[in-house]
């Protein structure tokens, strides 16, 4: 997945928030605050080849990506989780994780931009 392919579709978040911009901004902030810690846990689990912790970490990240409307990244995280649960394709887990490192940098930037757009609308 290339960084330029990252699409953030906040329509689900908007629907859940009933269009409440303050709530949407708050959810984006929670994602931006919590996800880096989950990514550290995932990285450590992969370094230790701890299948269960890899699956658990990916499982925590996956739904939040869906909530933020980042389907391509959610699918990749689902693949990591599935491989870990089946305890197979460790090389694929490592490859996908390495690819996601850069993707998440872009996701964080794009979500911050979306947040600023929402705040501008709210004024």
Q: Which residues of the chain have pLDDT under 70?
A: 1-4, 123
HEC states along 52-119?
A: HHHHHHHHHHHHHHHHCCCHHHHHHHHHHHHHHHHCCCHHHHHHHHHHHHHHHHHHHHHHHHHHHHHH
In whole angstroms, how far apart are CA 89 and each of 3, 81, 100? Answer: 24, 11, 17
Q: What pTM did the predictor assign?
A: 0.88
Q: What is the predicted pLDDT for the residue at 20?
A: 93
Q: What is the predicted pLDDT for the residue at 3?
A: 53
Which residue from 91, 72, 81 is spatially nearest to 42, judged by alpha carbons?
81
């Amino acid at each position: 997945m290339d960084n330029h392919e990252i699409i953030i579709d906040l329509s689900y978040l908007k629907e859940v928030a009933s269009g409440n911009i303050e709530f949407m901004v708050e959810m984006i902030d929670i994602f931006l605050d919590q996800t880096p810690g989950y990514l550290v846990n995932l990285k450590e689990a992969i370094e230790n080849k701890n299948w269960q912790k890899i699956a658990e970490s990916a499982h925590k990240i996956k739904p939040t990506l869906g909530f933020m409307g980042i389907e391509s990244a959610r699918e990749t995280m689902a693949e990591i989780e599935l491989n870990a649960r089946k305890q197979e394709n460790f090389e694929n887990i490592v490859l996908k994780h390495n690819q996601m490192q850069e993707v998440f940098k872009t996701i964080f930037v794009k979500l911050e931009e979306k947040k600023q757009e929402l705040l501008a609308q709210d004024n």
